[in-house]
Chains A and B, each alone.
Chain A
Amino acid sequence: MNDDATVHDRELQEVAQRLGARAAERLDLERTAQAVVARLRAEPRRRAWAWAGLGPTWLRIAAALVIVAGAGAIARTWWHGPAPVAGVVVPLGEDLSGLTASELRDAIGALDRPLEDETGSGVDVGLEGLGPDDLRALLRSLEG
């Protein structure tokens, strides 16, 4: 995996590989496996029990309120017709398919300025080497 690794990158990888090692060693696999199986066995029963009407009182009250509110909203729509839409929000991601690769690069540069600086530190990090699909995926993840 070290097509892009320098010595310093390897040091970073070694430290990363040590992270969590103690917790992993301490894990009792058999006990964990049996605990998971026991919970899988128990949870469907718990869910069935709740839906049978034996759940906590607050849950039943909340469910009743949701039903009443929903019924009220439907009734209001029926009497007055649909409410006017004040404005349509279009997610930015919807527009990405229409952008060219250079427009996508500009958008990413505007969202996350440090990416531009990085082109000098690693040849394969530059945005120039990425296709429109890569750029769209990158832009979406930067928005998120």
Chain B
Amino acid sequence: MTPAEPVAAVPTDAALIAAWEGGDEQAAAELVRRHARALARFLGGTGAPDMDVDDLVQETFIRAFRAVAKFRGQCRFRTWLMTIGGNVLRDAQRRWRRSRLVPLGDDVRAADGDPHEHAVAGEAEARLAAGLERLPPMQRDVFLLRAQQGLEYNEIAAALGTTPGAARVHYHHAVKRLKEHMK
């Protein structure tokens, strides 16, 4: 029997963060590759127009890498990124309101596949997105971190600086309001 080939160790987020702090740019690039899609989905859920998601993802990573010394492992790096992403999006929305720039609507964005299928699926998404926009930021973030990203209340609470019990109340409050909105 031949000995098993050694499995190449996948560096943890903590190891990559430490490498970036030591000046390794490729460690930063790997963290982007690892978490950018999840971050993009979260930003899309919090109301970022599709066309701006790439810029917002980049800005979030820049802010995160600049402030990485403040990250103490209180939650996962990905969860921490999402809380920064939420702030980046809110700043961008304030800028857009000031400059009166209106992002393109769904109707003018590119869409592949069956138009009817898109319309049916898109309607539920659009209603949920509209409902999410009406929620207070804390409720919206808790809802998305739980329902979209599948995080536990402990993790959400650590990221958002609250307690698991309070996060659970925010989640249920958000669900109740969203159900009412989607009736």
Contacts and interface: CB of A to CB of B under 8 A. Distances in A.
A33 interface: yes
Contacts of A9: 175
A19 B129 contact: yes
B54 interface: yes
B53 A23 contact: yes
B173 A22 contact: no
A50 to B, nearest CB: 15
A33 B33 contact: yes
B29 A33 contact: yes
Contacts of B108: none
B121 to A, nearest CB: 7
Interface string A112-142: 0011001001101101011101110110110
A70 B164 CA distance: 44
Interface string B16-45: 000000000110111011001110111111
Contacts of B173: 114-115, 118, 125
- Main SS at interface, chain B: helix
Interface string B45-63: 1001010011001100110
Interface residues of B, number: 56
B77 interface: no
Contacts, number: 160
Interface string A38-51: 01110100000000
Contacts of A17: 41, 147-148
A53 interface: no
A70 B134 CA distance: 42
Given A20-B48, A21-B41, A32-B32, 10 more contacts: A19-B41, A20-B148, A24-B38, A24-B41, A27-B54, A29-B32, A40-B65, A135-B166, A138-B169, A144-B138
Interface of B: 25-26, 28-30, 32-33, 36-38, 40-45, 48, 50, 53-54, 57-58, 61-62, 65, 121, 124-125, 128-129, 132, 138, 143-144, 146-148, 150-152, 157, 162-166, 168-170, 172-173, 175-176, 178-179, 182
18 contacts: A1-B150, A12-B178, A15-B125, A19-B132, A19-B144, A20-B40, A23-B40, A26-B50, A26-B53, A29-B36, A33-B28, A33-B29, A33-B32, A37-B32, A39-B62, A122-B172, A130-B169, A137-B163
Interface of A: 1, 4, 8-9, 12-13, 15-30, 32-37, 39-41, 43, 114-115, 118, 121-122, 124-125, 127, 129-131, 133-135, 137-138, 140-141, 144
